[in-house]
């Protein structure tokens, strides 16, 4: 890939860019990894164990709200459980639009990082 290819690819993508922020991208990936069991606690744990990143529940729900408004995820309220003091869980699933946005976002990232292995150590 030449730099011209990368630039033309990015410009081509700009019109329909999904505008996924870094946190949104990570949250989408985590929800996708968790499948049917994606709710606040599991998302937070997955962040800590896989992404090695501590994130507050507030940040998770704010990001998921944003993604829901964009139509990338949908949520359902689960049943109340005794270990939660009779409070319900809110489960999230990634919608088709979210998967599409994620793929586009990752493609952009791949295109931007291609050929940089030598200059950026550990890439």
Structure tokens at 65: 């709200």
Q: Which is nearer to other proteins, 15 or 82 (CB)?
A: 82
String marking each residue 21-50 x if it binds other proteins according to CB under 8 A = ------------------xxx--x------
Q: Is 91 in the site for other proteins (CB under 8 A)?
A: no
Q: Is 90 in the site for other proteins (CB under 8 A)?
A: yes
Element (H, E) at 37: none
Structure tokens at 63: 């990001």
In angstroms, what is the minimal distance from the CB of 81 to other proteins? 8
Give residues with Cβ within 8 angstroms of 92, minimum separation 6: 31, 38, 39, 43, 64, 68, 73, 74, 75
Q: Is 83 in the site for other proteins (CB under 8 A)?
A: yes
């Amino acid at each position: 890939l030449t730099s011209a290819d990368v630039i033309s690819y990015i410009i081509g993508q700009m019109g329909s860019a999904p505008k996924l922020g870094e946190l949104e991208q990570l949250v989408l990936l985590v929800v996708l990894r968790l499948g049917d069991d994606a709710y606040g606690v599991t998302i937070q744990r997955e962040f800590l164990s896989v992404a090695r990143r501590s994130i507050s529940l507030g940040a998770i729900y704010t990001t998921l709200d944003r993604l829901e408004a964009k139509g990338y995820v949908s949520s359902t309220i689960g049943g109340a459980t005794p270990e939660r003091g009779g409070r319900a869980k809110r489960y999230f699933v990634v919608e088709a639009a979210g998967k599409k946005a994620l793929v586009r976002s990752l493609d952009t990232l791949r295109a931007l990082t291609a050929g940089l292995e030598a200059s950026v150590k550990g890439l």
